[in-house]
C-alpha cells in the first residue's frame, strides 16, 4: 500500500486545500504507480474538478505551465505540484494533442483519457481508487493501454514510445493486445515532433533495460521511422571473425554493457551505425568497415541534429564515435595526453567505458587489460595536473605579444608548438622555460622573414 511518508507535506497541503474549497481532487499518475512499487516518485500530479482559474484563486503562487491542457503548477515552499483539471479524451487531432476542447466532468473521464492502466490510479489521500484495473496490472507487472489500444495510439502516437519507455524503466512486460497495436500503428510515430520523440528515446536509453527498449522499437517497426540508419543494422552480417553477432545485436550488447550515462549510451547506440554503408569484402571473403568511425561520427551528428539534441551532447557523442577504434596498446604518456586532448577530459573515461563495452560485445576471447592500463595512465596524468590544453600552459597569448609576436594566427601556432613541447616535457611548463622556448621560436621566425625564400624572389 501507499507509504504516505513518501508524499511531501507541500503536495498534501495542495490536495487538502483544493478539497476544502469544495473541489474533488486526487493524486494521480506516475507518483501513485511509483509509490505502490516502492519507488520514490519524481513529481506529484493532482487532478481536480477545479478549473485553472479556480486553482489560481486558491493558491498564491501559480504558474501557467500547460494552460492549453488545463495544467497549472502550484508552488509551495520551493516545491512545484502540477494541478490538472479533469481531462476529456477527445482533444486529439492527427495523433497530436491540440489542447483541451472542454474539461472532463469526473475522475472516471479523466482516468480514461490517460495512457496506461498503471498510470491511472487515483489516491485521495486515504485510499487508492482503481477505475481501470491498474492494481492488477501493477501486481502482474504488465503495461496495458486503457480502452482500445489502436484507438488510443491513433489519438496520440507518442504513447507507443511511452509504453516501451515505461516497460524498460519499470521492467514490465507489454500486454499482448497493446504490443500488437503498437506493431500495427508503428508508422504513426512519424507524426510526433522530434522533441517529444527525443525525450522518450533519452528515457529509454538511461533506463534499466536500454537494449530491451531499443530492441522493442525495432521489433515493433517503429525504429525504421525514427532512425532508419539504425534499423538498417538489423540482420546486417559482419563477415568477420572478430564479431559473432550482426551489427544490430552487437550494438545492443554494447549498449547493455555501458554504465548509465546518456552521452555514453548514445555513443554506444551510434558507434557502428556506419557499418552497413562502409562494408567492403576482401579476396578471402572477410568483411571490413574502413572509416566507419569517421562516417559514423557524421551520421550520428546528422541524426542527433534532426532529433534536436543540444550541441554539447551531439559533439561529445561524435568524439566518442570517432575515437572508439583507437585502441591504444601500451601507449606512451604523451600519446595518452594527445588522446585526452582530442576527447576532452570529460569524455576520456567515457571512451574507455565504450571501448570496454565494445570488446565485451564482440567475439571472445576478450582482453580488457589494455583498457584498464589506459585508465590508469589517464588517472595518473589527470591527478598530476599535467598540461593537456593550451589553457594549461604557464604562459598565454598576452605574454607572446609582449615578446613581439604579432596578434593573430601566429600566436595560436606558437602556443600549439609550446603545448607539443610541454606534453612531451611537463616539467618544463614554467613561465621561464616557455618564454625561453618562445624566444627560440621567435628568432627562427625572424630569420625566416629576413632571408626571403627563392619563391618570394621569383614572384
Ligand atoms: P515519470 O515518472 O517519467 O514522470 P509519468 O507516468 O508520471 O512518468 P508524465 O509524463 O509525468 O509520466 O505524465 C503524468 C501522467 O499523465 C501519466 O502517468 C499519465 O497518466 C498521463 N499522461 C502523460 N502523457 C500522456 C499521454 N501522451 N496520453 C495520455 N496520458 C498521458
Ligand atoms: Mg511524472
Architecture of domain 141-226: Orthogonal Bundle (1.10)
| pLDDT band with cut points at 50, 70 and 90 for residue 33 | very high
Contacts of 282 (CB under 8 A, 6+ apart): 288
168 CA distance to ligand 2 middle (Å): 16
Question: Which of ligand 1's atoms lies nearest the C-alpha of 156?
Answer: 27
Domain ranges of the chain: 1-137, 141-226, 240-385, 387-449
Q: Kind of pairing, strands 128-129 and 122-123? A: antiparallel
238 CA distance to ligand 2 middle (Å): 41
| pLDDT band with cut points at 50, 70 and 90 for residue 459 | very low
CA-nearest residue for atom 10, ligand 1, is 30
CA proximity to 52, closest of 13, 99, 111: 99
pLDDT of residue 92: 56
Q: In this structure, which ligand is nearest to the CA of 91?
A: 1
CA 358 and chain centroid, separation: 19
Q: What is the pLDDT of residues 84-142, one digit of tens each?
A: 999 876 555 555 555 555 687 899 999 999 999 999 999 999 999 999 999 999 999 99
37 CA distance to ligand 2 middle (Å): 14
Whether residue 50 contacts residue 58, with contact meaning beta carbons closer than 8 Å, is answered with yes
Distance, in Å, from the CA atom of 433 to the CA atom of 15, rounded to the nearest integer, reads 69
What percentage of the chain has pLDDT greater than the value 90?
A: 86
Beta bridge partners of 256: none
Mean of all residue pLDDT scores within the chain: 93
| pLDDT band with cut points at 50, 70 and 90 for residue 78 | confident
Farthest CA pair distance, the chain: 95
pLDDT of residue 346: 96
Architecture of domain 240-385: Orthogonal Bundle (1.10)
139 CA distance to ligand 1 middle (Å): 19
CA-nearest residue for atom 6, ligand 1, is 30
Q: Cβ-count burial of 280 within 10 angstroms (0-12 exposed, 13-18 middle, 19+ buried)?
A: exposed
Angle CA 64–66–69, to nearest 5:
130
What percentage of the chain has pLDDT greater than the value 70?
A: 95
190 CA distance to ligand 1 middle (Å): 20
Q: What is the pLDDT of residues 136-191, one digit of tens each?
A: 999 999 999 999 999 999 999 999 999 999 999 999 999 999 999 999 999 999 99
pLDDT of residue 240: 84
Q: What is the pLDDT of residues 240-286, one digit of tens each?
A: 888 889 999 999 999 999 999 999 999 999 999 999 999 999 999 99
Task: For a ligand 1 pocket test, name from 35, 80, 114, 164 the mutation site with the most ligand atoms within 8 angstroms of its C-beta.
Answer: 114
Under the phi-then-psi rule, with left for phi > 0, alpha for psi from -120 to 50, and beta for the rest, what region is 24?
beta
149 CA distance to ligand 1 middle (Å): 16
Q: In this structure, which ligand is nearest to the CA of 120?
A: 1
Distance, in Å, from the CA atom of 455 to the CA atom of 459, rounded to the nearest integer, reads 6
pLDDT of residue 432: 95
Q: Which fold has domain 1-137?
A: Beta Polymerase; domain 2 (3.30.460)
pLDDT of residue 454: 46
| Ligand 1, CB within 6 Å, residue ranges | 29-30, 42-43, 45, 114-115, 119-120, 156, 158-159
Backbone phi and psi for residue 292, each to the nearest 5 degrees, phi listed first: -65, -25
pTM (predicted TM-score):
0.91
User: How many residues does the structure list for the chain?
Assistant: 459
Amino acid at each position: 500500500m501507499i507509504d504516505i511518508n513518501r508524499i511531501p507535506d507541500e503536495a498534501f497541503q495542495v490536495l487538502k486545500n483544493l478539497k476544502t474549497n469544495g473541489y474533488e481532487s486526487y493524486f494521480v499518475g506516475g507518483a501513485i504507480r511509483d509509490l505502490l512499487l516502492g519507488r520514490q516518485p519524481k513529481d506529484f500530479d493532482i487532478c481536480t474538478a477545479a478549473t485553472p482559474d479556480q486553482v489560481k484563486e486558491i493558491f498564491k503562487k501559480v504558474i501557467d505551465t500547460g494552460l492549453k491542457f488545463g495544467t497549472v503548477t502550484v508552488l509551495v515552499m520551493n516545491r512545484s505540484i502540477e494541478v490538472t483539471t479533469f481531462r476529456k479524451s477527445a482533444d486529439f487531432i492527427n495523433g497530436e494533442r491540440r489542447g483541451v476542447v472542454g474539461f472532463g466532468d469526473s475522475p472516471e473521464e479523466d482516468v480514461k483519457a490517460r495512457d496506461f492502466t498503471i498510470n491511472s490510479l487515483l489516491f485521495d489521500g486515504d485510499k487508492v481508487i482503481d477505475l481501470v484495473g491498474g492494481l492488477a496490472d501493477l501486481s502482474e507487472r504488465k503495461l496495458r493501454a486503457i480502452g482500445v489500444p489502436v484507438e488510443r495510439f491513433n489519438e496520440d502516437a507518442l504513447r507507443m514510445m511511452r509504453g516501451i519507455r515505461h516497460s524498460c524503466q519499470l521492467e514490465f512486460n507489454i500486454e499482448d493486445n497493446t504490443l500488437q497495436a503498437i506493431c500495427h500503428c508503428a508508422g504513426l510515430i512519424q507524426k510526433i515532433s522530434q522533441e517529444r520523440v527525443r525525450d522518450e528515446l533519452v528515457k529509454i536509453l538511461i533506463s534499466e533495460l536500454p537494449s530491451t527498449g531499443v530492441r522493442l522499437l525495432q521489433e515493433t517497426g517503429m525504429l525504421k521511422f525514427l532512425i532508419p540508419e539504425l534499423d538498417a543494422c538489423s540482420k546486417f552480417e559482419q563477415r568477420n571473425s572478430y564479431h559473432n553477432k550482426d551489427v544490430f545485436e552487437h550494438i545492443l550488447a554494447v549498449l547493455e554493457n555501458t554504465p548509465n550515462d546518456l552521452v555514453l549510451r548514445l555513443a554506444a547506440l551510434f558507434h557502428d551505425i556506419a557499418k552497413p554503408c562502409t562494408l567492403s569484402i576482401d579476396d578471402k571473403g572477410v568483411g571490413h568497415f574502413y572509416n566507419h568511425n569517421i562516417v559514423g561520427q557524421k551520421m550520428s551528428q546528422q541524426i542527433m541534429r534532426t532529433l534536436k539534441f543540444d550541441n554539447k551532447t551531439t559533439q561529445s557523442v561524435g568524439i566518442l564515435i570517432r575515437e572508439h577504434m583507437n585502441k591504444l596498446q601500451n601507449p606512451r604518456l604523451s600519446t595518452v595526453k594527445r588522446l585526452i586532448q582530442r576527447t576532452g577530459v570529460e569524455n576520456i573515461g567515457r571512451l574507455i567505458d565504450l571501448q570496454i563495452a565494445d570488446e565485451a560485445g564482440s567475439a571472445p576471447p576478450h582482453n580488457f587489460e589494455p583498457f584498464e592500463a589506459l585508465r590508469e595512465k589517464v588517472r595518473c596524468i589527470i591527478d598530476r595536473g599535467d598540461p593537456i590544453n593550451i589553457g594549461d600552459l604557464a604562459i598565454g597569448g598576452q605574454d607572446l605579444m609582449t615578446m613581439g609576436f604579432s596578434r593573430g594566427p601566429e600566436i595560436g601556432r606558437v602556443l600549439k608548438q609550446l603545448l607539443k613541447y610541454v606534453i612531451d616535457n611537463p616539467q618544463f611548463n614554467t613561465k621561464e622555460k616557455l618564454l625561453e622556448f618562445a624566444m627560440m621560436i621567435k628568432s627562427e621566425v625572424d630569420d625566416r622573414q629576413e632571408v626571403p625564400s627563392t619563391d618570394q624572389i621569383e614572384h
